[in-house]
Amino acid sequence: MRAIITVIGTDRVGIIAGVSTILSESNVNILDITQTIMQGFFTMIMVVDVSKSGINFEQLAGKLSAKGDDMGLKIKIQHEDLFKSMHRI
């Protein structure tokens, strides 16, 4: 299953390192990564493959969200189909 990780907040050192450390520890593969400034917010988007993840989705979401809290950012992980269904026919 593919999921989308979004990081929204103020740019700072160590965002990618922080997120990718959690992913690597959980055996989650990063397929694509992009970052941009949207409506004034730093936005990083990662497409990841969670099918071989060592922990369940809820635990992974919890770890990412906690990391976000530490760094003053909002970090979410959501099933890719949510975005596909909303924006693609």
Partner 1 sequence: MINPHEIFETITMISNENLDIRTITLGLSLRDCAHPDIDELCNRIYDKITGVARNLVKTGEDIEREYGIPIINKRIAVTPIAIVAESSKGDYVKVARAMERAAAELGINFIGGYSALVHKGYTSGDERLIKSIPEALATTDRVCSSVNIATTRAGINMDAVARMGKIIKKAAELTADKNSIACTKLVVFANAPDDNPFMAGAFHGIGEPECVINIGVSGPGVVHSALKKLGPEADFSEVAELIKKTAFKITRMGQLVATEASRRLGIPFGVVDLSLAPTPIIGDSVALILEEMGLEKCGAHGTIAALALLNDAVKKGGVMASSHVGGLSGAFIPVSEDVGMIEAVECGALSLEKLEAMTCVCSVGLDMIAVPGDTPDHTIAAIIADEAAIGVTNNKTTAVRIIPVYGKKEGDAVEFGGLLGRGVIMPVNRFSNKLFIERGGRIPAPIHSLRN
Footprint of partner 1 on this chain (CB under 8 A)?
A: 4, 6, 8, 32, 34, 36, 38-39, 43, 45, 47, 57-58, 61, 74, 76-88
Minimal distance, residue 69 CB to partner 1, in Å: 15
Minimal distance, residue 53 CB to partner 1, in Å: 12
Minimal distance, residue 71 CB to partner 1, in Å: 18
Show Cβ contacts of residue 34 under 8 Å, excluding neighbours closer than 6 positions: 44, 45
Please say which residue, 67 or 74, places its beta carbon nearer to partner 1.
74
**Are the beta carbons of 19 and 5 closer than 8 angstroms?**
yes
Q: Count of CB atoms within 10 A of residue 67's CB?
A: 17
Q: How far apart are CA 6 and CA 1, in angstroms?
A: 16
